[in-house]
Amino acid sequence: MNHDGSRTALGTRGGLFTDLDFDYEARTALGAAACGTGDVGLVLATLERITDGDSLSWFDAWTATAAGLASRGEDALGAGHPDTARWALLAASEYYGKALAFIDGMADQSVMLPTFRAHRACWEKVVDAWAGRCVRVPVPYEGTTMPGYLLRPDATGVPRPTLVMINGSDGSLPGLLGYGAVEAVGRGWNVFLHDGPGQQSLLFEQGIPFRPDWEAVLTPVLDTLVARPDVDADALAGYGISQGGYWITRALAFEHRLRAAVADPGVVDVSEAWTSRLPAPLLTLLREGRREEFDAAMREGTGPVEARVLAFRAKPYRTGDLFDVFTEVLRYQVRDVVGAVDTPMLVLDPADEQFFPGQSRELFGLLPGEKAIVGFSAADGANFHCQPTGRRLTHTVMLDHLADHLPRAAV
């Protein structure tokens, strides 16, 4: 689902569902399976139980698969098979998270928090079963802490290059394992995962919303990491996935300790995903600050299902009415700060990008320093937002680029 609740715009060939949003989410599940989360057969069997376009059917199918895997993981723990337990519980965690992909389209959203807690409980068991290779590293943040997890190749505590991964607007934390974390650890790197404001546990459990100035998030993350003996402070890299492509770019205009970073994709202006489908008169009302007229026009032109989806998507922002939501989202752009980015950046540019079309090339043009851009195509099966079925190819490109910018002694 788009950030404004509108439909995506995928191609017409090779679809798993005729509903374009369902089709895209199905592709992400298959891509994660190719990277070791779950299994292709489990994904296909789950998809076969889903009624095309039916949000409740989607939820029921994925929670059933997740529950079965969670039970399998518990049995493996009891039998002393930690490798099997980690695999099953990681898949269970991701599939509980996948079940919530269309919660915004469900009339009864009361299942959201219990399902999220089941998802995170499975993840915490994965962490415990990792034999010291994954350690919890909470990050101080404005009177609370951001939950963080440092994945390491082993438990020796040797200082290593460390990749900080920044999630998107609604991606799951364990889902980042399928977005390059596993491959990075396999190369001998640490990987740091965390929830930031507006993301996952900080939103659902603490009610902390997004913020546009992500340097206020990245800086305490780096402060925490460089104080650890198992992190090489001179070999830090960053990766922002989906809307994280905005957050990492914004943060790097102020935070300069990363040796290199990747935006997947490049995001210049988050608000374009919200405003691109507004009729011109509505956009004029918004930009002229005519709150009451804007809200009245939005109410008149929005059906009950669309209104429910929009209300759900608005929750991570500091919001009141719809005018406030759209006004807040307008702040999420980097044009006025990108000139201060001096970190070497790689921008990924998939064909058929449906959420931020054209913004990867725009960002590449705006970046003032060392930069590169890599396109992905349908011919490689790596088109669409964040290359959902081309992740292994994506990881080779991004990790090679980052390695080329880290100290040779570190890699």
Domains of the chain in sequence order: 1-129 (1.20.1440.110), 133-270+332-403 (3.40.50.1820), 272-329 (no CATH)
Alpha-carbon span 193 to 323, nearest angstrom: 33
Give the model's pLDDT for residue 15: 81
Confidence of residue 105 (pLDDT cuts 50, 70, 90): confident
* 265 prior amide bond cis, ω within 30: yes
For tokens 């995928």, what's the residue?
10
pLDDT digits (tens, 9 = 90+) for 312-361: 888 899 777 899 999 999 999 999 999 999 999 999 999 999 999 999 99
Burial class for 196, CB neighbours closer than 10 Å (0-12, 13-18, 19+): buried
Do the bridges between strand 345-350 and strand 371-376 make them parallel or antiparallel, or are there none, so unpaired?
A: parallel
Of residues 267, 284, 288, 385, the one with CA closest to residue 335: 267
E strand or H helix at 357 = none
Collapsed DSSP state (helix, strand, coil) of residue 121: helix
Distance from chain centroid for Cα 140: 21
Give the model's pLDDT for residue 4: 40
pLDDT digits (tens, 9 = 90+) for 242-279: 999 999 999 999 999 999 999 999 999 999 999 988 89
pLDDT digits (tens, 9 = 90+) for 271-294: 999 998 889 999 999 999 999 999
Alpha-carbon span 197 to 202, nearest angstrom: 6
E strand or H helix at 269 = none
Alpha-carbon span 285 to 295, nearest angstrom: 9
Residue type, 369: G
Residue 208 clears pLDDT 80, i.e. is over it:
yes
pLDDT digits (tens, 9 = 90+) for 352-393: 999 999 999 999 999 999 999 999 999 999 999 999 999 999
Q: Give the mean pLDDT of the chain.
A: 93
Alpha-carbon span 392 to 215, nearest angstrom: 29
Give the model's pLDDT for residue 10: 40
Of residues 290, 297, 294, 244, the one with CA closest to residue 267: 244
Of residues 185, 165, 346, 343, the one with CA closest to residue 239: 165
Give the model's pLDDT for residue 409: 65
Residue 12 clears pLDDT 50, i.e. is over it:
no
Give the model's pLDDT for residue 311: 80
Return the number of other C-beta atoms located less than 10 Å from residue 103's C-beta.
20
In this structure, of 43-47, 153-157, 268-272, 314-318, the range with the lowest mean pLDDT score is: 314-318
